[in-house]
Structure 1
Amino acid sequence: MTIVEDAKNGTITEEMKIVAKDEGLDPEFIRRGIAAGRIVIPTSPYRQVKLCGVGEGLRTKVNASIGVSSDIMDVDMEVKKAMAAEKAGADTLMELGTGGDFLAIRKKVIDSISLSVGSVPLYQAFIEAARKYGSIVDMTEDELFNATEAQAKLGTNFMAIHTGVNNITLDRLKAHGRYGGLCSRGGAFMSAWMMHNEKENPLYANFDYLVEILKEHEVVLSTGNGMRAGATDDATDRAQIQELIINTELGQKAHDAGLQVIIEGPGHIPLDQIETNVKIMKEMSGHMPFYMLGPLATDIAPGYDHIVTAIGASLAASYGCDFLCYVTPAEHLALPNLEDVITGVKTSRIAAHIGDMVKYPERARQWDLDMGRARRDLDWEKMYSLAIDPEHAREVRTSRSPEDTDACTMCGNYCALKIVNQNYNLAK
């Protein structure tokens, strides 16, 4: 019996209790959310994980992505990145490698951390077909489903599956065109295969079989966003919305069958369209958990796309997005290094909290209130403990140590807070 079936039968499982305690909520709230499809808890029968709830009423979660490429094959570095992402506060991790021995690398990553780990099995199937046959278009349908099951058996907790790239979606894409092309690797692989073979996407045509595989291994279905925009001028176009319609229909079908489901969203979106994207997805899916890739609010800042994402992600979270995929400073430029991963996680965590201050002000703003009081009182140790990155905060102040240890070198002897504290009491 899956966790969805338990929830629908009125059973509060241990996983629900753990997530409820972590969120400061009633376990019954978590059970009802899972039963209705509004909350998921990625888990696995094959490994113990740090449980994390994703969905409405819960803190906005952050995913970090790593993985070797065909150019850089340093597996040990990817393991270090995974461990660094967990230490930096990522809630989940996706292993998205496109080189080497897919299963061996993923197992090494999974064994190194306690986080729930996601994957895109389609990558393995297409790339192994290219190695075996010389072209991705010669992949067989069985190879696609075999890769999915093999990765599930490793203890993969959630999978991005490109179910919504079908013939109808491709017709919309070809008829409308794109300023920025098709940026999804999974979408590119699948659309090329479909057009060459003149066949429907196997993940769509054989969706019931896909659900059987994922359900058997308790894997959360995350409906892949193969038609997401890679340029802000392509945001919310016909192909993207067509894919969303298909994914939300399939998501409901999967949940009815007892599967946990996440709906993935775009991509590059200007600020004035972020609210629209979140609300359309939420209403269309019946308020399933929404996972956004970014979103990036402008296209002109390579090297600073973690900042671009923080701007878009904080808005998205405030409007109801439940799950944010981080973006690193290396986005659009190179495979992220260790420092890029750490920066990406911490930046997206800040964005998630800013969004939660709007969504859940009574819960989220207490953290800020505590920091405000600590600053008023010039309680530096308290400030460090409340900082999202205590080590960095302490390091910066120490590197420019003030003469007056109560103040900092920004104001020195003329610290406004110290002046006020010495003359009258504003404590509240």
Structure 2
Amino acid sequence: MNQPSTNSFGIALPRAPWVARRSGDATPTQLFYARQGVITEEMHFIAAKERIDPESIRSEVARGRAIIPANIRHTELEPMVIGKAFKTKINANIGNSAVSSGIEEEVEKLTWAVKWGADTVMDLSTGKNIHATREAIVRHSTVPIGTVPIYQALEKVKGKVEELTIGIYMETLREQCEQGVDYFTIHAGVRLKYIPLTAKRVTGIVSRG
């Protein structure tokens, strides 16, 4: 069965045929292929953009010195690489809050971010409808989309940290992976022995300044 050339929003799906051809592979990640000595279509695409030999991309990824954030569920994506051997990349942060913005506004932010050169975009939504907002962002995005999963995990327990479990957190990770998110920022917490070091802080511990 032929893959559709566009999604329901009319966004092109350049990776759809590539992903379909590899659908039977047990570990269809760029790292897996790189370590098997395979130069993927994504690597060829990136090589043309970076004006570099595709083998250089495969080698850097295989050695763990570069990454290609490209979820197989994100077929709208135009692949790119991040690593010291390649061009510098720029990230843009978007996302709703409890007091402002809706889905259409977030998609518009994405559009402008990509138009003005963002190589990746992070959805840092902490307000309502996080799942639906992220779905719209991923489906409209030609660049890799990242998230901070704990924001949605906390939404699921209505902000009650004491009710957050590893099960809820892992469920959130899987949900976002299945949606097409390409990379994560993981907040792993603070070890108990370091808690005393936080006692004299002027402000609370935050992740984004």
Q: Which residue of 1 aligns with 2:136?
A: 108
Q: TM-score, normalised by structure 2?
A: 0.80
Taking the aligned partners of 1:128 and 1:37, their CA distance within structure 2 comes to 34
Q: Deviations over 1:85-105 (max 9, x none)?
A: 011110011111011122111
Structure 2 segments unaligned to the other structure (5+ residues): 1-26
1:54 paired to 2:82: yes
1:73 offset after TM fit, Å? Answer: 3.5
Q: Deviations over 1:365-409 (max 9, x none)?
A: xxxxxxxxxxxxxxxxxxxxxxxxxxxxxxxxxxxxxxxxxxxxx
1:115 offset after TM fit, Å? Answer: 1.3
Bigger Rg, structure 1 or 2: 1
Q: Which residue of 1 aligns with 2:72?
A: 45
Q: Deviations over 1:66-85 (max 9, x none)?
A: 11101114221111111110
Match of 1:152 among 174, 177, 186: 177
Cα contact 1:127–1:136 (8 A) shared by 2: no
Cα contact 2:74–2:180 (8 A) shared by 1: yes
What secondary structure is seen at the aligned counterpart in 2 of 1:178? coil
Structure 1 segments unaligned to the other structure (5+ residues): 186-229, 231-428
Q: Which residue of 2 aligns with 1:95?
A: 123
Taking the aligned partners of 1:81 and 1:60, their CA distance within structure 2 comes to 22
- The number of equivalent residue pairs is 180
1:166 offset after TM fit, Å? Answer: 4.0
Taking the aligned partners of 1:100 and 1:155, their CA distance within structure 2 comes to 20
1:173 offset after TM fit, Å? Answer: 4.9
Taking the aligned partners of 2:134 and 2:38, their CA distance within structure 1 comes to 33
Q: Which residue of 2 aligns with 1:382?
A: none
Taking the aligned partners of 2:151 and 2:49, their CA distance within structure 1 comes to 34
Taking the aligned partners of 1:153 and 1:33, their CA distance within structure 2 comes to 27
Taking the aligned partners of 1:9 and 1:166, their CA distance within structure 2 comes to 37
Alignment of 1:47-196 (within 5 A): 47-48=74-75, 49-130=77-158, 135-163=160-188, 165-167=189-191, 170-175=192-197, 177-184=200-207
What secondary structure is seen at the aligned counterpart in 1 of 2:108? helix
TM-aligned CA distance change 1:136 to 1:180, over 3 Å: closer
Taking the aligned partners of 2:31 and 2:143, their CA distance within structure 1 comes to 21
Aligned AA (2:162) = V
Aligned AA (2:181) = T
Aligned AA (2:65) = R
Match of 1:19 among 37, 43, 46: 46
1:14 offset after TM fit, Å? Answer: 1.3
Match of 1:35 among 58, 62, 69: 62
Q: TM-score, normalised by structure 1?
A: 0.40
Q: Deviations over 1:163-201 (max 9, x none)?
A: 3x342xx5235236434541227xxxxxxxxxxxxxxxx
Cα contact 2:47–2:54 (8 A) shared by 1: yes
Q: Which residue of 1 aligns with 2:13?
A: none
Cα contact 1:73–1:100 (8 A) shared by 2: no
Q: Which runs of 4+ in 1 moved over 3 A?
A: 176-181
Taking the aligned partners of 2:165 and 2:106, their CA distance within structure 1 comes to 29
Alignment of 1:357-372 (within 5 A): none
Taking the aligned partners of 1:26 and 1:173, their CA distance within structure 2 comes to 48
Taking the aligned partners of 1:89 and 1:155, their CA distance within structure 2 comes to 21
* Structure with more of its chain in helix, by fraction: 1
What secondary structure is seen at the aligned counterpart in 2 of 1:130? coil
Cα contact 1:95–1:106 (8 A) shared by 2: yes
Alignment of 1:322-341 (within 5 A): none
Cα contact 2:106–2:133 (8 A) shared by 1: no
1:47 offset after TM fit, Å? Answer: 2.4
Q: Which residue of 1 aligns with 2:21?
A: none
Taking the aligned partners of 1:184 and 1:171, their CA distance within structure 2 comes to 20
Counting aligned pairs with the same residue, the percent is 33
What secondary structure is seen at the aligned counterpart in 2 of 1:125? helix
Q: What is the RMSD of the two structures over their aligned residues, measured on CA atoms? A: 1.8
